[in-house]
Structure 1
Amino acid sequence: MNELDQDHYPQSCPFCSIASAYPPNTSRSLLDCVPKDEDADPERIQPNAFVVLSTPDVVAFLDILPMTSGHLLVATRAHRKLIGDVEGAEAREIGFWLPLLARTVAKVTGVVDYNIVQNNGVRAAQVVPHVHFHIIPRPETMPEVKNKNWTMFGRGQRDGLDEEEAVKLAEDMRRVLRDEVGKLVDGDSKGRL
């Protein structure tokens, strides 16, 4: 059997740990899905997590090994290994938040070009066996890389997340996301999930 046919994933899921450490507000208000800075303390979990969104079905946080500054992950709260495992309500919620988070990343980073990537299985470059989407800003000048294969599907050279930069980046993303959600809430008296 080819080694790629075997399940080479870690025993525990880091995304489930993040989801557990940052429970959603139970009000189901759209604005309450964006944690206040004091509720998004990155040190609640190790390694630190820089959470931008925490809803009943979705959590978004900065990638700890970003391809570029602002690289954001959008994951299901419940453990789902592959996109085909995602259920209706989760799929609707991810579909609702992805455009808002993409606009947020673009506004905060000042980069209007980005990839949204979702990998399924180890042969498709899925490293963490938990459904997640990458929102990867693509600045005009890309970092020098030794292997250019990563440009499409997320493989290749990455740098560790600078924690001081990440605190500010996550705060800025939460602020801008609140503004984006506020525009929706103003147009819809319900403002709920």
Structure 2
Amino acid sequence: MISVFTRIVRGEIPAFKLYEDDLTLSFLDINPAARGHALVIAKPELPGLLDLPPELVSAVALTTQRVARAIVEALKPDGFNVIQNNGAAAGQVVFHYHVHIIPRWEGDRLVKLWRSGTMSMDDLRAVADEILAHI
């Protein structure tokens, strides 16, 4: 099934485009968490970060920075979140790689993304060793 984002790339669905090049497209989210909430997508329909070749990861990162800078200059938020979800358990709804840029203002009442926890140094070392075995 073709994703809604591929349909936007093809021009089949309208979007308020902010930036476009050969590999990426940025447009406003139609269900924004905040004023100026934008998406940056990879034009090829690939589901997640681990599916992208390095040059596409770089292209999306550069477009994300360009659009975030424009949002900050235009809307003057106090900060912004850059969020990228991989898999349903992480909150991904459209399985076409995309990054959210969400402007934030003091007192905007948007939820924090997580509550910080604690781990012992031994537990942290064990997790680090598990991950390092695969790098």
TM-score range relative to shorter protein:
0.7 to 0.9
Q: Distance in 2 between matches of 1:111 and 1:95?
A: 20
Which of residues 113, 117, 121 is equivalent to 1:152? 113
User: What are the residue-to-residue correspondences of 1:93-132 with 2, within 5 Å?
Assistant: 93-132=59-98
Residue 142 to residue 69, structure 1, CA distance change in 2 (3 Å):
same
Partner of 1:75: 41
The count of aligned residue pairs is: 114
Partner of 1:90: 56
Q: Are 2:24 and 2:40, in contact at CA under 8 Å, matched by a contact in 1?
A: yes
Which of residues 1, 15, 19 is equivalent to 2:5? 15
Q: By how many angstroms is 1:19 displaced?
A: 1.1
| Bigger fraction of residues in strand | 2
Q: What per-residue deviation string (whole Å, max 9, x for no partner) do you get for residues 56-79 of structure 1?
A: 110100000000000000000000
Q: TM-score, normalised by structure 2?
A: 0.77
Q: Distance in 2 between matches of 1:96 and 1:12?
A: 25
Q: By how many angstroms is 1:99 displaced?
A: 1.5
Structure 2 unaligned runs (5+)? 115-135
Q: Percent identity?
A: 29
**Secondary structure of the structure 2 residue equivalent to 1:16:** helix
Task: List, as ranges, runs of 4+ consecutive aligned residues in structure 1 with deviation greater than 6 Å.
Answer: none
Q: Distance in 2 between matches of 1:95 and 1:20?
A: 22
Structure 1 unaligned runs (5+)? 1-10, 22-44, 154-193
Q: Distance in 1 between matches of 2:62 and 2:80?
A: 18
Partner of 2:120: none
User: Is 1:139 aligned with 2:105?
Assistant: yes
Q: Are 2:82 and 2:100, in contact at CA under 8 Å, matched by a contact in 1?
A: yes
Q: What's the Cα RMSD here?
A: 1.7
Q: What per-residue deviation string (whole Å, max 9, x for no partner) do you get for residues 20-42 of structure 1?
A: 11xxxxxxxxxxxxxxxxxxxxx
Q: By how many angstroms is 1:141 displaced?
A: 3.0
Partner of 2:122: none
Q: By how many angstroms is 1:112 displaced?
A: 3.6
Q: Partner amino acid for 2:107?
A: T
